[in-house]
Amino acid sequence: MSDNSNWHGTTIVLIRKDKDVVVAGDGQVSLGNTVIKSTAKKVRKIEKRNVIAGFAGSTADALTLFERLEAKLEKHAGNLTRAAVELAKDWRTDKYLRRLEALMAIADKEKSFIISGTGDVLEPEEGIIGIGSGGNYALAAAKVLMDTKMSAEEIAKKSIQVASEICVFTNSNITLEKI
């Protein structure tokens, strides 16, 4: 397994509030103490299936997993739960995939999941997910903001902003997708 311990710089937050689902991510990619890129897009939408996903980890690995997720959604007629479980199973057992180093936060209108390379498919209890180097900061901010009148989109943006003020591997160049 390769050592990506020097690669940092992702904060992803997923917010489910009222009837809205939002995934937001910052734009920073760092190598050690150097910012390599400040406008990376770590959030994607599968328009055909009305699914959004955010990625933490190696960019190439995340894009590979996104393509696999899209294929699993097609195979399972848009059933996100089934697609997530099948992707996690492949990720853990496939000789090539198990080397990929990333985390995914995915959602459709009904469900939200964190998928990891260890085979985990976790559904959050409170409709909030935070992953990446600033994920815990964004998660904490979002938990506090959920009790306000702010929309899911406003909470996601503010949570990434808070994380960017604490985590040196996170910036406030926000990409956001909403379903």
Catalytic positions are 10
Q: Which residues, listed in sequence order, are joined to residue 44 by a DSSP beta bridge? A: 53
Residues 27 and 144: their CA atoms lie apart, in Å, by: 23
Of 16, 52, 57, nearest to 40 (Cα)? 57
Contact criterion met (CB below 8 Å) for 117 and 92: yes
